[in-house]
Homo-oligomer: A and B are copies of this chain.
Amino acid sequence: MDTQYLENIESNVRTYSRSFPVIFDKAQGARIWDADGNEYLDFLAGAGTLNYGHNESDLQKALIDYIQSGGIVHGLDMWTDAKYQFFKTVEEILLKPRGLDYKIQLPGPTGTNAVEAAIRLARHATGRKNIITFTNGFHGVTMGALATTGNSKFRQAAELPAIGAQFMPYDGYLGEGVDTLDYLEKALTDSSSGLDKPAAVFFETVQGEGGINVASIEWMQRLERLCKAHDILMIVDDIQAGCGRTGKFFSFEHADIKPDIITNSKSISGFGLPFAMVLMRRDLDVWKAGEYNGTFRGFNFAMVTATAALKKYWSDDTFEKDIQRKGEIVKTRYQKLASLISDHGHPASERGRGLMRGLDVKTGEMADKITKRAFKKGLIIETCGHDGNVIKCLCSLTITGDELEKALDILEDSVKDALAA
């Protein structure tokens, strides 16, 4: 594998090829192979983009059929049959059964496109400029989204200040026993707090990049009450936590709250294709024609696979239950690993919701020791959190029982090796 060629020609900005310095060429389900034929179990799954695994066969078939039929690939935002089918399916399978009445915007095929559109719409609809975002939130790096993203790595590289958002502490940020919404509520009711009255609060129900930080049900419900009391919109960024990752299609269903605007991307196409969607409360659709645009708003391949994925996996609650069941398996094994590591004098803990789980080993150094060993043993697994201190599980939701056990066994071996090193 001529990795040196790639090192030389690709910009230094590259990231994952540093952790996994091989050239991959095939993938199926939860498994991926490099050009030398080495097999890996994939616990990263496109950072949550491959919830149904690599090359899911029914989606692949739907896609090939569509291509062979001469269907439209790219149609700007024109109406196509694929779009019609997709919208119908979203309505029938996702919205109606949940009592949701949203309009749909396809804002461009990346998460950050959806974020820019969603927060701009919130500003447009309220006439206010400010967005409340939260510590450790990650929402993208284009300049509008960046204002809502906490990571200093991106913020510093921008050279310009990213404007339009103010940060508040996320649930749990100030430790046990501190309800961080006390600060938000105080600031909202105090006209000299420096908090500009926001258009919206914008948050992930489980923070992915931020370290698998889980907002409690009570915190989200109080946040919804605060929003209603102060006439502030609630936007849930469900780009990573959505599409079943937490055990429900929308991650906020656990809290029985109804966001005013929702951003989706990553796994919405189901097949790893670039795609994003903004759902908005019907009366918030104040957009005028063409006020937000982009060339790739209408990627029909993604609509074809998204439609197939929704029909296959979300027509009843079988898949939800299966995710929840597997989540419990990972939880139990991660807790066991946390105990094991703690017993060796490195305090560690487990957290998560559904199949979005993290093993917090407190330092990036320790986490790297473990994940490097795991890669050598055939497991692709990444870290997150402000110091890279949390070992993420973002395995495909369709992983088989055997694959899951094998992956967790590799992780356990890697932990043991790291502790012994």
Contacts and interface: CB of A to CB of B under 8 A. Distances in A.
A398 to B, nearest CB: 15
Interface string A6-48: 1001111111111011111111100010010000000010110
A324 interface: no
Contacts of A289: 12-15, 18
Given A104-B9, A190-B386, A194-B135, A14 B77 contact: yes
Contact of A290 (B13, B71, B271): B13
Given A191-B152, A291-B154, A387-B191, A49 B74 contact: yes
A159 interface: yes
Nearest to A298: B16
A319 interface: no
Interface in A251-288: 265-266, 271-274, 278, 280, 285-288
A173 B23 CA distance: 49
B274 A299 contact: yes
A144 B146 CA distance: 10
Q: What's the dominant secondary structure at chain A's contact region?
A: loop
Given A54-B72, A190-B136, A272-B74, A291 B157 contact: yes
Contact of A142 (B44, B113, B182, B287): B113
Contacts of A349: none
Interface string A294-330: 1110010100000000000000000000000000000
Interface string A111-142: 11100100010011001111001111110111
Interface in A59-105: 60, 63-64, 67-84, 87-88, 91, 103-105
A378 interface: no
A420 interface: no
Nearest to A152: B191
A55 B79 contact: no
A377 to B, nearest CB: 18
A419 interface: no
Interface stretch (A163-171, A216-224, A242-250, A409-417): A163-171
A196 interface: yes
A315 to B, nearest CB: 20
B5 A135 contact: no
A193 interface: yes
A89 to B, nearest CB: 11
Nearest to A3: B79
Given A17-B77, A17-B79, A87-B6, A63 B67 contact: yes
Nearest to A70: B26
Given A6-B79, A142-B145, A194 B16 contact: no
B142 A112 contact: yes
A76 to B, nearest CB: 5
B72 A26 contact: yes
A110 B113 contact: yes
B84 A120 contact: no
Contacts of A78: 16-17, 20, 24
B294 A111 contact: yes
A13 B87 contact: no
Contacts of A352: none
B35 A81 contact: yes
Given A153-B191, A157-B288, A160-B164, 8 more contacts: A3-B79, A6-B84, A10-B104, A13-B291, A17-B78, A24-B79, A155-B196, A156-B196
15 contacts: A12-B286, A13-B285, A17-B77, A21-B79, A23-B81, A24-B81, A60-B67, A112-B294, A123-B159, A137-B194, A151-B191, A152-B191, A154-B293, A192-B211, A266-B295
Q: Closest 8 interchain pairs by CB? A: A74-B272, A143-B144, A167-B194, A150-B194, A13-B287, A142-B142, A11-B105, A143-B143
